[in-house]
Structure 1
Amino acid sequence: MKQLSARFPIWLCDVWGVAHDGRKPIPHAVDALIQHRRAGGKVVFITNAPTPKLNVQAFIDKIGVPREAYDDMVTSGDVTRELMVELGDHGLYHLGPPEDLPIFKGLEVKRVPLEQAGAVLCTGFIDEVARAGMKIDHALLEQFLSRGLTMICANPDKVVSIGGVLIPCAGAIAEVYGQMGGRVMMAGKPFAPIYDVALKHAGHPDHIKVLAIGDGPDTDVKGAMQNNLPCVFVSGGINKGADPEAEVRARYPDARIMKVMPELYWT
């Protein structure tokens, strides 16, 4: 990464799966981020966490990711809030766990029962039991569909790794709703809004100076490709295939993958 640091001073770096594993920091990755910043580079964390930036900062502070590793952060939750305001005139039905409710804080948008809702906000599975069994309530999705409700998906990730265990996320629910014919609006990676905000936080740099880093083929690699950015693919974490590099290159042949490594490291 040392050579890429000199070539690309702005790094848009995924958080979960790159800087930490859900329970503790990933030491080599944190060191690489710190070294990049010491060399004059800038790191903007870009995460599909369906919650405001301050909540994510509090979480990574708690598990030990140092503030020295990054300059700023953009979350899917923050971008989601803009969509909530746009679609929330008649209130939103929340599909997700109670811990995601801070996403409503400070907004005039109301959380309402389904029969009153003008749209649906999906932040994930409603509880640990549903999430562990990936129990998608198809009957509930049919109700959304029958009323023609748009779903705002606060986290396009389909899975996340927690200590090496794959856990399904909101993106898995949104995918099913879309397959059923429902309209879905995505705030996070790989879609443009979160990249636009991240580049704004980075000072509107020229794209030739920006490198995207992440472990999600369908979020980080696809997002970099769709937003005309080169990327580093971190092949550990959620990628359990026999040959993650071959699989991601086959899936996204037009992606400008500069480097593939199991963990982010400096040398």
Structure 2
Amino acid sequence: MSPTFEKYFVPEPSKFPIFGSFALLCIGAGSVMWLNHTGPGPLVFFVGLATLIYMLFGWFGQVIRESESGQYGKNVDASFRWSMGWFIFSEVMFFFAFFGVLFYVRVIAVPSLGSEESVSVLWQGFEAVWPTAGPRAEEAFSPMGAWGIPALNTLILLTSGATLTWAHWGMMKDNRTQLKLGLLLTVLLGALFMGFQIYEYMHAYGEMNLKMTSGIYGSTFYMMTGFHGLHVTIGAIMLLVMLFRVMAGHFTKDNHFAFEAAAWYWHFVDVVWLVLFVVVYWL
């Protein structure tokens, strides 16, 4: 018996990569000009942002139309899965770099600055105790504790992972009502998480004097939790798009990788938060 081969889908030439490149150039250049108060920074930034949104709607819309028209086969599905896997791996390394910074600061840099030689010669009176703003800190601040909003947000994200898994079960059972409700609950929990994080930031700035300028503790705290919050926002948007697609009748139990990709991303965000909660808030 001769083997059968599946025809591989080859997309037509696209204009969207050049729009994406232009958008990122404008966002980067606009940000630099805006932060340095030179040139039309805000205008360039928002032009880039608008171009990026146009590219995302146009490019992903084209992919959705191609998928729904049945042009994709097993080879394309495998390509998508590998691509999403490598994308999440790049995100893992992104956060790994941040955790590496925190490890270096707490285990190597701060103890070194607090050594007897450093204190006697350079930083008199400095105590190598975490959390610290570092030597020559001018303003006192209170560190963010783990039990309160951070613990509540941990429970929210863990619950959102359960509701998303429940939605996936609905997909596999062809129960569209369960699928829609699970996705809706997950998106709402993501929005609730972000609401509490915004409140946490307001409380930190207004009542704890914990700011980006609060030395190494403040900068690492806001860098790590802020980037995670950005990822939660992106993940919630992805799941909201999946909800709209489900309401439009897209996906079957045998063909729903876009949903799976968004779910992979959301579970990744959950895991990162668990590590953040332990090393940033708790320890």
Identify the TM-score tier after normalising by the shorter chain: under 0.3
Q: What TM-score does the superposition give when structure 2 sets the normalisation length?
A: 0.24
Which has a greater percent of helix? 2
Q: What TM-score does the superposition give when structure 1 sets the normalisation length?
A: 0.25
Q: Which has the higher contact order (CA 8 A, sep 6+)?
A: 1
For the pair shown, the structure with the greater C-alpha radius of gyration is 2
